[in-house]
Structure 1
Amino acid sequence: MMNATLWSLRRLQSVNDAQLAELADVLIDCVEGDASVSFMHPLPRERAEAFWRGVAEGVAAGERALLVAEDGHGICGTVQLVLAQPENQPHRADLAKMLVHRRCRRQGLGEALMRAAEGMARDCGKTLLVLDTVTGDSGERLYLRLGWQRVGVIPGYALLPRGGLVGTTVFYRELA
């Protein structure tokens, strides 16, 4: 899948050191931009790289699927599927860490990543996806627009990167 003027998407089967550094850059940029993505501000590079090393191990073990978007500056977006689920849920995956660098926002990249992640889930034999997102955030609007089903809101679920509680909205999507 490709947008010739902006970025291209591809699934990584393994993550090399350069890609790990670029993924850390995207995560740090998102946290600096106040995205609630499990980390507090400031996010040290060592912590960001440690997170992505763990993801890379999951990818290598077949427990995660990792999709990246790349532009002329490198990796500018990413999304993961957590494929490893309990034995009574082999049909399901968690969609996680849908991140878009601020330089590429409002260009359709989030939608492209989501559509590609859904295709990747189908390719992996998954028929149900679940995710959670900050209530009232742009991600919530995107997921609703793409046909995800809103389950509900959990108030005060997490802290924003610079502090302050925020609710999370849970979504699911059945794949045809």
Structure 2
Amino acid sequence: MARSLEVARRRVDAFMDALPIERPWSFDDFIGWMEAERGRPIRLEPVDAAVISGAPCGLWIGREHDDVVMYAAGASVYLRRHIIYHELAHILRGDSGLNVDLTALQKLAPDVRPETVRSLLGRAAYDDEVEQEAELLATRLFLADSGAVSARSGAGAKQSVRVSRLNNVVWSRS
């Protein structure tokens, strides 16, 4: 496990180094950048937590003309952003598939016609390499955003130092 985690960290480091967007970024700027890169809108859709109980924490629905990222409506702003970054990590990595039952999709998103779905990824656990690497990438994306949020929100030096320390702990090369 430690070896595969180190390989995943190296891949995520390389991915982050290659991202052509200036850091730190705001959440909205990152979403805008992704929309421009993909040439289509990304819709962020809150879903009632009761509806997704026992379902994935987040869900990405890739359709022909847009992407829909769903998250629990009651999540804190930071958890919500992390969930969204996780789903965006799947998009950035080029992950695809249909790992969520299309009939379950009708419960989560009744306005989405199943025939329009090209990719459908959700997460409830991190038990495979794709999910683990997407989670590592989401953490790195989130930390880049958190630095911008701390600096602009007037949270002060203490919070910025905490974010920096967290980044160093998560990505230390011990």
User: What TM-score do the two structures reach when normalised by structure 2?
Assistant: 0.26
Structure with greater helix share of residues? 2
Q: Quick check: which has more Rg, 1 or 2? A: 2
